[in-house]
A and B are shown apart, each in its own frame.
Chain A
Amino acid sequence: MVFERDVEHIAGLADIGIVKEELDEFTIQFNRILDYFDILDTVEGDCVYEQDRYNVLREDVISPSLSQEDALKNAGETEDGFFKAPRVM
């Protein structure tokens, strides 16, 4: 069972942006969906990954990539050839 305060907390963690009027609807839906997920409690054991898995690694070779100009083309704001982001501090 989750409550409105839980949904508000998760929305904050996920930086999802939520308004008070939506909390009620999301909370009801989350409880219905999470109730359905309870069926996973009946699954026995843990996931044992198969032994034949392996990492796919490659040599660190420089290959062609986007130019700085192309990479910045879709940016909201740029400054001196860099992405401009909201302030963190």
Chain B
Amino acid sequence: MAHSRLSFTPDDRVNAFLTTCPEPEYGTGRLEGLAIAIKDNISTKGIRTTAGSRILEGYVPPYDAHVVSLLLAEGAAIAGKTNMDEFGMGTTTENSGYGPTLNPLDTGRVPGGSSGGSAAAVAAGMVRMALGSDTGGSIRCPAAFCGIVGLKPTYGRVSRYGLIAYANSLEQIGPMARTVGETSRLMQVIAGYDPRDSTSIEQPYCHTPDKNIQGRRIGVPEEFFGAGVDPAVAAKAWEAIEVLEKKGAEIVTCRMPGMAYALAAYYVTCMSEASSNLARFDGVRYGPAADTKKPWHEAFQERRGTSFGKEVRRRIMLGTFALSSGYYGKYYAKAQAARQQVKLDFIRLYKEVDVLAGPTMPTIAFRLGEKADPLSMYLSDILTVPANLAGVPAISVPCGTVDGMPVGLQIMGRHFEDEAVIDTAFAYEQAVV
């Protein structure tokens, strides 16, 4: 196969990229010659991959993630690796070990997170498409804050092989782009079965967006417009839902009682999974070396104490606590019961409606440093975590601005109906362009 080379020298003033590939090779296929940015927690053979962490400084993966192999097989050029909150733990990209990414629309604000670098790279026009990963909103939040489109696919639809694991039961890799059509185009390439991910399902995505939503029933949960949601943001989302109504959809207001404990269930689950997953970072197999002259625990603690950021250490400790003897029943077991309630809410509602809609984030992009307190940062994930707990697909599509900053409309669908989510977002996008 003949290979050509692209020249990629972006004017990256917002620190979107941790690594750029100035002359990436590309081949032939559906993404021929397209420069695509990859979030830095997705393994790329021969290209430095750090997951935004100092504990993986200098790590060069010896293999490609499944999604990267798929992109290369379709002729894409890997433009570089994008900045992120360390291991995906954050809503702002300020938790990166390599400095924050700035929002290209207002550099005094964050781009959202954790896939903030991918969103900023697309929003600033450095690349047309990017891959992100979404554990509790990490694709949809930065898409909303930067005014682009981002899809969290149904759990199992895109292989996680080669994704540096943080919370396996929640996370999915997904596409980010300027338009719904381009997002769908990238999804066509990355979805499909991979035997190397045991949660992968044979469910390829061969869809072309269709803007006809005549008769589609759209549920609007009251909780998505409740306390903590900026009224101006809520109003923008409502306007967008009314546009869908004009295009033939039927709007049904509904309730999701499980939202009351969704956020707590999410954080207990992801912290618990993180405490186990991140035990592998010990300075022996990758990253800056542990001091082998010292005793094991001392060397291990020294490496992790200095190379992990505070948010990562906080989550590992809280996860260890939630799983520890005497507390497991109070935290982890209850979180799983709550998670099931959230899932049952979705299943119940999807008997009545085809998709659910509301704002993606409760506010516009935060100012840099605004969310210094961990709990206040966690609370901003309230509208995105339910989809991850239930494993359903969810998209964020731009729906206007508040104070000059973009607002995202979130549309969630039934399991394996990513197509309906794409179509609803496409109908809105086509109605307002």
Other than the given A32-B373, A40-B331, 18 more pairs (CB < 8 A) read: A10-B324, A14-B320, A15-B297, A16-B313, A17-B305, A29-B314, A29-B375, A39-B264, A43-B338, A46-B333, A70-B62, A74-B287, A75-B285, A77-B289, A85-B284, A86-B295, A86-B300, A87-B294
Residues of B within 8 A of A76 (CB): 283-284, 287-290, 292
Name the interface residues of A9-47: CB closer than 8 Å to any CB of B: 10-11, 13-19, 26, 29-30, 32-34, 36-37, 39-47
- For B297, the closest partner residue in chain A by CB is A15
Asked whether A1 is an interface residue with its Cβ less than 8 Å from the other chain, the reply is: no
Asked whether A3 is an interface residue with its Cβ less than 8 Å from the other chain, the reply is: no
Name the interface residues of B262-313: CB closer than 8 Å to any CB of A: 263-265, 267-268, 275, 279, 282-306, 308, 313
Q: Is the CB of A46 within 8 A of B337?
A: yes
Residues of A within 8 A of B306 (CB): 17
Residues of A within 8 A of B297 (CB): 15
Tell me what chain B mostly uses at the interface: helix, strand, loop, or mixed.
helix
Asked whether A58 is an interface residue with its Cβ less than 8 Å from the other chain, the reply is: yes
A–B complex contacts, Cβ < 8 Å, 28 sampled:
A11-B317, A14-B317, A15-B279, A16-B304, A16-B308, A26-B317, A33-B267, A37-B331, A39-B264, A40-B261, A40-B334, A40-B338, A41-B330, A46-B333, A47-B336, A47-B337, A58-B195, A73-B60, A74-B58, A76-B283, A76-B292, A85-B282, A85-B290, A85-B296, A86-B292, A86-B295, A86-B298, A88-B295
Q: Is the CB of B296 within 8 A of A40?
A: no
Provide the A54-89 mask, 1 if CB < 8 A to any CB of B, else 0.
001010000000100011011111000001111110
Residues of B within 8 A of A41 (CB): 330, 334
A78 CA to B198 CA, complexed, in Å: 32
| Shortest distance from the beta carbon of A34 to any chain B beta carbon, whole Å | 8
From A30, A70, A87, give the contact of B295 (CB < 8 A). A87
- Interface positions of A (Cβ within 8 A of B): 2, 7, 10-11, 13-19, 26, 29-30, 32-34, 36-37, 39-48, 56, 58, 66, 70-71, 73-77, 83-88
Residues of B within 8 A of A74 (CB): 58-60, 62, 285-287
Residues of A within 8 A of B295 (CB): 86-88
| Shortest distance from the beta carbon of A88 to any chain B beta carbon, whole Å | 5
Assuming the A-B contacts A13-B320, A75-B284, A88-B296, are A40 and B330 also in contact, with contact meaning beta carbons closer than 8 angstroms in the complex? yes
**3 A-B pairs with the lowest CB-CB distances in the bound complex, closest first:** A17-B305, A76-B289, A17-B301
Assuming the A-B contacts A11-B317, A36-B264, A74-B285, are A17 and B378 also in contact, with contact meaning beta carbons closer than 8 angstroms in the complex? no
From B195, B304, B375, give the contact of A33 (CB < 8 A). B375
Assuming the A-B contacts A16-B305, A39-B261, A40-B261, are A33 and B289 also in contact, with contact meaning beta carbons closer than 8 angstroms in the complex? no
Asked whether B318 is an interface residue with its Cβ less than 8 Å from the other chain, the reply is: yes
Asked whether B414 is an interface residue with its Cβ less than 8 Å from the other chain, the reply is: no
Asked whether B178 is an interface residue with its Cβ less than 8 Å from the other chain, the reply is: no
- For A75, the closest partner residue in chain B by CB is B285
Assuming the A-B contacts A71-B62, A88-B296, are A83 and B265 also in contact, with contact meaning beta carbons closer than 8 angstroms in the complex? no
Asked whether B380 is an interface residue with its Cβ less than 8 Å from the other chain, the reply is: no
Residues of A within 8 A of B98 (CB): none
A14 CA to B149 CA, complexed, in Å: 38
Q: Is the CB of A86 within 8 A of B337?
A: no
Assuming the A-B contacts A14-B320, A29-B374, A40-B338, are A86 and B290 also in contact, with contact meaning beta carbons closer than 8 angstroms in the complex? yes
Q: Is the CB of B286 within 8 A of A86?
A: no
- For A11, the closest partner residue in chain B by CB is B317
Asked whether B316 is an interface residue with its Cβ less than 8 Å from the other chain, the reply is: yes
A18 CA to B195 CA, complexed, in Å: 40
- For A40, the closest partner residue in chain B by CB is B334
Residues of B within 8 A of A86 (CB): 284, 290-296, 298-300
From A13, A18, A29, A42, give the contact of B305 (CB < 8 A). A18
A85 CA to B56 CA, complexed, in Å: 17
From A13, A36, A40, A56, give the contact of B375 (CB < 8 A). A36
